[in-house]
Amino acid sequence: MSMILAELNAKGRVTVNELAEQLNVSKVTIRRDLDVLSRENKLIIVHGGGIKPNFTLYEAPYSDRNSVFIEEKQRVGMKAVELINDYDVIALGVGTTTIQIANHLFNKKNLTIITGCIQVLNSLIERKKSGYFTGKLIFLGGEIDTDQMFASGSMTIELLEKFHIDKAFIGANGYSIADGITTYDIDEGNFLKKMVQRSNKVHVVIDHSKIDVKSMYTYAEYNDIDCVICNIDPPIEWKEKLTSSGIDWVVAD
């Protein structure tokens, strides 16, 4: 089983067929070993094999995720609002943490806010109509993902390419030194990658469950951003690299 774990640590996932061929044993033997490792919480059984406990391939729909760690996400959103100044051109990415920025935005003047997330847009529209802030709202249209509630595709990216953004606030399904900033969806990842490139300052907004986690697609390296806003401190072993990379870690307590 040590060889299975070595393969798992190297790739993030293993398959029954590949392991059986590599180790020259039966598929029944591999499945039995995977069951043992699963009971020991060393992997998660998926169809055809197993994945690391901190490696996930699929994301629940937006509506199912919105209430998970809601208090932590609210604190992160409120802290992010403190970093927004009047007259800023800001971009808000996709996710259930970035919407908390929209939900708590107040007392700001003449903002230009760019987003491709439908739920974020809806929140911003209601708050602007209620007088919580003034300025412009720009929606980046494209093909709509009705599960995750965002626009994506070449039209979205081409439109984003035209903007010069002061500050971007992006979510992530995982943030780690080793694997960078990851998401489940390649289209979302390409959209967020472009947002990172078009922004003078990039903030990652995450709750503690995203720390040292990776999902399928890396859209930026850990040091491609300027600031992480989270509800807890970073892992101790990260602090030196964060400091040397000039990354601020802001705790929303």
| Residue corresponding to tokens 């992530």 | 172
**247 and 224, same domain (yes or no):** yes
**97 and 169, same domain (yes or no):** yes
**109 and 16, same domain (yes or no):** no
> Which CATH number is 27's domain given?
1.10.10.10
Three-state DSSP class for residue 167: strand
**71 and 39, same domain (yes or no):** no
Q: Which of 53, 75, 93 is the last residue before a domain boundary?
A: 53
Amino acid 221: pLDDT: 97
Query: CA 178, CA 171: separation in Å to the nearest integer?
Result: 18
Domain residue limits at 7: 2-53
**130 and 224, same domain (yes or no):** yes
**8 and 114, same domain (yes or no):** no
* pLDDT tens string 220-242: 999 999 999 999 999 999 999 99
**107 and 202, same domain (yes or no):** yes
Residues 6+ apart with CB under 8 A from 15: 48, 49
The residue count for the chain = 253
**41 and 158, same domain (yes or no):** no
- CA of residue 163 relative to chain centroid, distance: 22
- Per-residue pLDDT averaged across 64-87, rounded? 87
**145 and 200, same domain (yes or no):** yes
Q: Is the pLDDT of residue 249 over 70?
A: yes
Amino acid 2: pLDDT: 78
* pLDDT tens string 93-151: 988 899 999 999 999 999 999 999 999 999 999 999 999 999 999 999 888 878 777 88
Q: 76: pLDDT confidence band, cut at 50, 70 and 90?
A: very high
> Which CATH number is 146's domain given?
3.40.50.1360
The sign of the torsion formed by the CA atoms of 225, 121, 152, 159 equals negative
Q: Is the pLDDT of residue 194 over 90?
A: yes
**8 and 124, same domain (yes or no):** no
**36 and 124, same domain (yes or no):** no
Amino acid 193: pLDDT: 95
Query: CA 29, CA 136: separation in Å to the nearest integer?
Result: 61
**46 and 73, same domain (yes or no):** no
The number of domains in the chain is: 2
* pLDDT tens string 16-73: 988 998 899 999 999 999 988 888 878 777 767 887 766 555 555 555 555 568 899 9
* pLDDT tens string 156-174: 999 999 999 999 999 998 9
- Per-residue pLDDT averaged across 76-82, rounded? 97
